[in-house]
Every structure is written in C-alpha cells, then in structure tokens.
Structure 1
C-alpha cells in the first residue's frame, strides 16, 4: 500500500470510489484492517485538508461513512481510530437514517456504543424513524437503557414510523424493568400514547400475554385499560387472543375496567367471550363463563352467541376435553378457597387436626384419606355452573347429531 501511494504521488487516489461509492478507507474499515486504515488516514492528513475531509467523511451510495462500516462489522479499534481523527463522524446518518450509535446498539456492540457516547455530539437516529432508545430496549440491557436515557432524555417520547415509542417495544419484549423505569416519574402521556393501530403499551402486553407488564402499567395508570384500538378492541380482547388466563384475570380484577368487560369490537361486534370461542381459547372461555359480569348470551353483528360459535366450529374440542378443562379449573378454585379458609382458621387458633393433616398432604403432593376430607360436591355448589350449561350442552348436541342433520320438518333426510 505504501509503495502504491508513493508511486502515485502527488496524485492522491484516496478519495477515488468504486461502483458502490466506496473509497479504499471504506473497504479497509469494513474488513477490519487497522494498519491499512491508519496508513490511509495518515497520508490524508499529510496532504491538504480537503483530501482529509473527502476521505474521512466520504459517504458511499448508501451514505455510509467508513465509521458506519466499521461499526456494522464490530471493529472497535478502527471505530476508536476514526472517532479520534474525526469526532464529527458520529453525527452523520446514512440513507436509512441510521447513525453509527444506532447501528452499534442495534447490533449489540455495546462496547463500541459506549465509545461513541463519549463524543460531545452524536446522533441517536435510526431506521424507520426509530432512535437509539428503541434499539436499546430491544437489546434488553437495563443499565445501557439508563445510559441512553440520560444522554437522550427526549427519546422516550419519540415514535417510529409505526407510531411505537420505546415503551411499546418494552411491553412487547416483556422488559418489566424497562417499563418500570419509563413510568417512574408518572409519565402519563407515555402510558396513553397509541401507535398507528391504536395500540397502547397495555394492548401490546395483553396481546403477548405479558401479565407482569400489564400489572405494572395498571398499577401506575389504571385507566389505560379504557383505551380502545382502531378496531374498537379493549385490552381484554387482546388478552383473550393471547390465551393467557393470568392476563385476563388482571383485567377482570381491575375496578377501572368493569364497564368494558362486555365491550364489542367494531368490525364483527364480538365481545371478549366471542373471541375466546373463535380463537379456541377454551381455558379463557371457561374463566369468562364463570364470571357473573360477563354477558354469556350477548350476540355479535351476525346474531351469534358464544354457544353458537362453539357449536358451528368444526374443530371444536371433544366433550371429554372440555369437561377436563372445566374440572381442573373448578378444582383449583375449590382448593384455593379451602386453603384460604384454613389459613384464616389457623390465625384464629381454631384449626382442627384433620385440617392440618389435609394441608400437609397437599403440600407434599400426597393422596388418599387427606384428599377425601373435602366434600368437592358440596363445595362445587358455590360456583356458577353456567360453564357446564354453555359448553357441554352444545358439545353434547354436536356429538350426538347425525351427519347431514335434520331437514326443515325435523326429519332425517333419506
């Protein structure tokens, strides 16, 4: 390289480009050739200032500088060299809007990112109008998110081309620590911010079934559960779609959500219970059917109830599967309430020895006499048997229906 440069002197080929707009420094930086990069920069500095500017700040057809390419390929030594020689390179973005800092975080080269953050000025821009905080959230590195937030405090409110803020991404990736960090200072405007589909962070966490994130958001801002997306769906619709019973329970237990439990979406007019049947989320369906506040006979825009949807579903579960789900659900609820009653009695000092034996047997996973102490039939009378009526009736009907069905006069066709 030295011999070639010497032989061409005083003509400098340093700023010449190939068909992709790359200078020789672009290529050396992308390949990680530190010695060659140092030589090229030294020769440029030895020449007039214009040549140095053309070399260090030169952009190829995609508007990438040598720094962009060094970052993309994770060459820390070359990144350090280029920044020392020209700190202003950290402020340049390429055609996609990506800054060197964004690329470093996006590709999880956090050592390089920290080096770039040492410069007095650097861009936080990224593709699709994202910023570096979006990328940091996706990396799920809480300490690094804090560093970025300190350097770019306004980045938390900026939305990308899809209308999503960093909080939306934190909710999507179930980054509970990040969600709590973002909501620390009662940042109400952030919690209510909707993306272009009308989805809040609560909607997104519900759709993914991230009930811990949902709980964190509702604890700070309970009335975010009243938000509807562009399709008129509540967070409950999305929680049902996820199939997460825990996500559904959180919303059902929210005082602020009580008036929206039977809310119907815009397009089909489906309630959350309709959606549970359509998506075959049978555990969620049983949970909803056992809630007195849920309108079981509600009809959608096609005039169908939940029972109609189940009966018309060719892929509906067998009667045995439905009964098994129902049995497990009720048994768990019975055991939970019995355990609560036992603890209450213990606190009052009125626990019988037989109850202590039973509790110990359950903890140890034991079976036998201890499990027979509880009269399940008696306890089951406390619960709503609408699940039985709603689901098992239609599955029984479907199971015993003769293929082909009946004609208009109630007779079997020939």
Structure 2
C-alpha cells in the first residue's frame, strides 16, 4: 500500500456512520461517555475484540486519527453519514463529525464528490439543508456549493439528475448564482433539458440571480442543441431567454439547426431566430438541408426550400447537393419530393466532385424504387457521364458483370434492364477498352480511387465461396426432399394395383387412364430434375471445384429445382385427377386447376413486383405499348405454368396410343 494513501476506515466506525448511531460514533471518537450515552454491550465486546482488550469498558482506539480512515471509494465518515440517512440522528452524527474536524465538509472522495454531493444524490433533503447550514458557520458555503467533482459537476447537477425540485430550490436559494457554474463543462440547465425535467428548467432560470444561467453543454454544444431534440415548447423558452444561442456552433461546427432538422416545428423556430444558419456548413461541409436529407426529413427539406429556394443548390465538401445525400442514404421520401417539385428540376442532373448525378448514385445503391422515381422524371438525363466516363448504364453494367455481380442485390439486373429499355446508353468508349477495364476490375488491378467500388479478386472469391457453401446447404435439402417424394410416389400408385389372379396382376389399376399416364411422366420428370439439381448443388458446394464452375452448377441447379417443384405439383394434380375423375370429374378438376394456376402466380410474383415499380417509367419514356407487351409475357408465363398438368396429360394420352 502507498504510505501516502489514507488508512482504511475502521469497520465499527463505518457501521456506526451507516446506521447513524450517535452513541457508537460518540464513543469511538470521544471515548468514555455518560451512562445514558454508552453504547450497548455487544458493541463494547466487538470493540474489545478489535483492540485485543479484555475489559468491556475499553477506550476507543486512537481517537485522534480514527476519522482519517476512508472507504475504498475515498469516502470519509461524513460522506457515509450524508449518503445514508435523512433523520435527526444522522444530522447529530454529522454535527459530531464536523465538530471533530471542520475540513471534512469540503473533502472529496476518489470521484471528487463532497459529502454534500452524496447527500443530494441520495435525495436526503434535510441532510442537504443541514450541511449547507454547517457550511454557513464556517463561511465556506459558496465554495462548497460550487465545488466540482471529477465530472465537473456541482451539487446542483446531482439535484437535477434525481429530479428533486425541492432540493434544487433550496440550493438556488442558498446560492442564486449556482446555475452559472461550472464555467467550463455541462451546465445544470443543459442537463435538465436533456432529462426533460422542464419544471426544473423553469426554476433554474427564474430562481437565478438576474435570471442569468449557464447554457453550456458537452462538446461545445449549448442548451439549444439539447432543446431542439426535446420539442418545440422548451426550444421556444430557451430562445426567449437567449436568442443568440441559435448562432453558436459545437466543436464539429454544427449549429442547433443541424440538430433540429428531424423536427419540423423546432427547425422553424431556430430558423426564424437565425436565418443565416441555413447557409452555415459544419466541419464536414454539410449544411442543415444536407442533414435533413440524410435523415429523410422530407417535410423539413420542403420547409427549407420554401423559406429560401437558393438553399437547394448548396453543396457540401464533396460537391453534393441535398439530393445526392438523400440518394446515398436511400431516403426515398426526399427523392420523391424533389422529383415531384418542378422548381427543383434544375438540380436533378447536377454532378458532384466525382461527376456522379443522383441517378449514378441510385444505381450504385441498387435501389430500384429510387431509380424508377428518377427515371420517370423526364428532366433526368439518363446518359450523363461521370469523371470515369461512365453513364448510369455503365455503372449498372459493372455491377451485374460476373463475378462482381455475385451476391449483389436482387434489383441489380432489373435496374440495368430498366435503363436499357428506357433509352440509357453506354459512355463514349471502345468496347475493347470497356472490357479491358472490366478485366482489370475483376483481377484487382484498379486505381486507388476505384477501390471503394470493387472488391479485390481474392477477397471476393473467399466471400463468394462462403455464400455458395451456405446457400447450397439449404437448397440441397429441398432438392433431396423433392427427389424423395417423387421417388416414393412412383411406387405408391394412385388407385392401387390389380390382384395377383388378374391377367395383368401387380400392375396399376388406372394404367390406361390419360391422367395416370400424365402423372407417371410428370413424376418421372420431377424426379430426374430434382436429382440433377441435387447433383449440381453437391458440385456447387464442393470447395475443390473452381469458383466459376461452382457458380455455373449453382445457377443450373436452381433452374432444375424450381422446375422440379412445379412439375411435382403437376404430378399431384394429375394423380388426384386420375383417382377422382370417375366420381367428380368437374369440381375436382377445376379446384386442382386453380391450385396450379396459383403456383404459377407465386412464381411470377417477382416479375409482378418488379413491373409494379418499372411500369410507370417505361410508360413515360417509351409509351404504353412497350409496357403492355412486357406485361403480356408475365401473363403468358402464369398461363404456361398453369397449363403444365394438361401438357403432361396430353403427352400421356399420346404415349398410350
């Protein structure tokens, strides 16, 4: 132990202080007491054990130095008394300790807390008032009230934190200037606003001398930075008290308006107090309108544009408008607002420092909804090139080219298709240069500036191999289940078998039925397809096979798996048809046909969902004929899947001839 560190507090002294036991504490500090103040026998026995004495009337051990002991947290006996009780007994104990050593009132523990900090934190209002009165007698009250702990907080901060209005009022009555401290650090007012203690907020302002308080907050912020995040009522009050807070910035250069962008009413109040804040960028070059766009606050963006239209062309340090920011953060509400606002059409084709338009960034984000929103707006130019000479179509091309496209979002190829059919073109460059550039990207030979857009070959292959391994595990289970079901169905014939005494004993009873023949063909086809899918998934999941071959096996296996499921449903349909046709041919047939058409619809949901988004931009850019022609293919796909059972039935009928 460090010889300069204080001794540990005596256990009996700590216990007496925690209990507020005046008799025990007096005996420990002053020794022999009058008969009516003597502690109980058990205490004297404990004390004798600690001092190795034999008499029950021993003196307290080293009374002069006993109070110098502290707890592990550095608390003195007065800290312990102040924190553990609020009755007259505890007040008497505090008087006893203070009478022994008046300096204890201002001593701090390892966290810098005085006994008054501890009393306030515990909510002991009587003890707080008592300690303040003790400080008045030594003319050290102001120093005690304003003393800061290691967190640079006074006792007023502790009162605010526990939300005790009475203690706050008592402290301000004792020192009307207390809310002005600390001079550096978080103020009590900022803390009260953050904790939404609005009664205390009013009290701090109204009870302070000349209604002067500190508005400081952490990291260079002020009370208005906190107020705008808590609502318009407290924001309005803070602005009434000190309007110039709206012009102050924190250590990152952000004004309260930067903080207020998520709350429309607060933004209006702060903007009214300081209109110039709309043009004030932070240290990253972001103006409030950029921040509003990044959080998707479309109504706030609209308010900024309405109040000052020129704010829509403000650029950040990367040369981005608020539309660029909204697209990068995938805030579709802001993009929709800009596309629907004719007066903002001029920013739709603005380019950032890299030459990217909003459409370039939407393609990079692979967000089909945002791309459709931009493409449907005729003012958007589909073929502007960025600093790399790439149009949005080129950007989409890089994304979907294998192997870079592997693992990309589902919409990547749809975005490429949309741009192509709506008039998007590639940049002005030779195709051999284009593919040379792609090969460089594929092999990892790229410029440093391009590293953010691609994945190096070895890193990508490791990631893609992991994706393939994990994907094949679940799909392999599905293909095996289909193979097992179709294999079993081939030997569990619908309608059963003929008896052994029949001329064709052991053969299926429905062997001459068209539906049964179709069932057998469909079941066999589904079994073959699922078996091929199973074998393909096994190769795709084998790490010893080259990655391009694994990808090829995986893609082909997916096709066979989907086809086997559809054909298995057709086999079920035909089996039920073969069994039930003699008794209810009409109803059963129609019900099963509906089921199969429903399967066709399910397999077409992706196309329907895609064209729900893409229909409008294609209609606007290419006219109704183009979209109707493409939707016709979706209808034909559903019709074809729904007709598969009938096709197998026709094949079965032909095979019986």
Q: Give TM class, smaller chain.
A: 0.7 to 0.9
**Cα offset for 1:63?**
2.5
1:24 has 2:112 as partner: no
Q: Which residue of 2 aligns with 1:284?
A: 370
> Residue 88 of structure 1 is aligned with which of 147, 162, 177?
177
Of structures 1 and 2, the larger Rg is shown by 2
- Give the distance between the partners of 1:94 and 1:74, measured in 2 at CA: 22
Structure number with the higher helix fraction is 2
Verify the 8 A CA contact 1:261 1:294 in the aligned structure 2: yes
**Cα offset for 1:214?**
0.9
Verify the 8 A CA contact 2:190 2:216 in the aligned structure 1: yes
Instruction: State the aligned residue count.
Output: 334
State how 1:246-257 maps to structure 2 within 5 Å.
Answer: 246-254=333-341, 257=344
Which consecutive unaligned segments of at least 5 residues does structure 1 have?
334-379, 393-414
**Cα offset for 1:53?**
2.3
C-alpha offsets along residues 310-360 of structure 1, whole Å, 9 cap, x if unaligned?
2332214254757634434646x9xxxxxxxxxxxxxxxxxxxxxxxxxxx
C-alpha offsets along residues 63-92 of structure 1, whole Å, 9 cap, x if unaligned?
221112222232332212111111111001
> Residue 609 of structure 2 is aligned with which of 324, 327, 330?
324
Cα distance change on mapping 1:256 and 1:161 into 2, 3 Å = farther
SS in 2 for 1:14: helix
**Cα offset for 1:262?**
1.6
SS in 2 for 1:138: coil
**Cα offset for 1:386?**
9.3
1:53 has 2:142 as partner: yes
1:178 has 2:269 as partner: no
- Give the distance between the partners of 1:278 and 1:307, measured in 2 at CA: 11
1:72 has 2:154 as partner: no
SS in 1 for 2:319: coil
> Residue 228 of structure 1 is aligned with which of 304, 308, 315?
315
1:150 has 2:240 as partner: yes
Q: Which residue of 1 aligns with 2:201?
A: 113
1:205 has 2:205 as partner: no
State how 1:237-386 maps to structure 2 within 5 Å.
Answer: 237-254=324-341, 257-266=344-353, 268-313=354-399, 314=405, 315-317=408-410, 319=414, 321=606, 324-328=609-613, 330=615, 383-385=620-622
**Cα offset for 1:210?**
1.2
- Give the distance between the partners of 1:104 and 1:145, measured in 2 at CA: 13
- Give the distance between the partners of 2:258 and 2:607, measured in 1 at CA: 36
Cα distance change on mapping 1:242 and 1:385 into 2, 3 Å = farther
- Give the distance between the partners of 1:278 and 1:37, measured in 2 at CA: 62
- Give the distance between the partners of 1:161 and 1:253, measured in 2 at CA: 37
- Give the distance between the partners of 1:158 and 1:308, measured in 2 at CA: 45
**Cα offset for 1:271?**
1.2
**Cα offset for 1:161?**
1.2
Cα distance change on mapping 1:131 and 1:307 into 2, 3 Å = same
Verify the 8 A CA contact 1:62 1:94 in the aligned structure 2: no
Cα distance change on mapping 1:325 and 1:156 into 2, 3 Å = farther
- Give the distance between the partners of 1:302 and 1:76, measured in 2 at CA: 63
Q: Which has the higher contact order (CA 8 A, sep 6+)?
A: 1
Verify the 8 A CA contact 2:372 2:613 in the aligned structure 1: no
Verify the 8 A CA contact 2:148 2:182 in the aligned structure 1: no
> Residue 124 of structure 1 is aligned with which of 201, 211, 215?
215
Cα distance change on mapping 1:8 and 1:170 into 2, 3 Å = closer
- Give the distance between the partners of 1:138 and 1:18, measured in 2 at CA: 35
- Give the distance between the partners of 1:72 and 1:36, measured in 2 at CA: 18
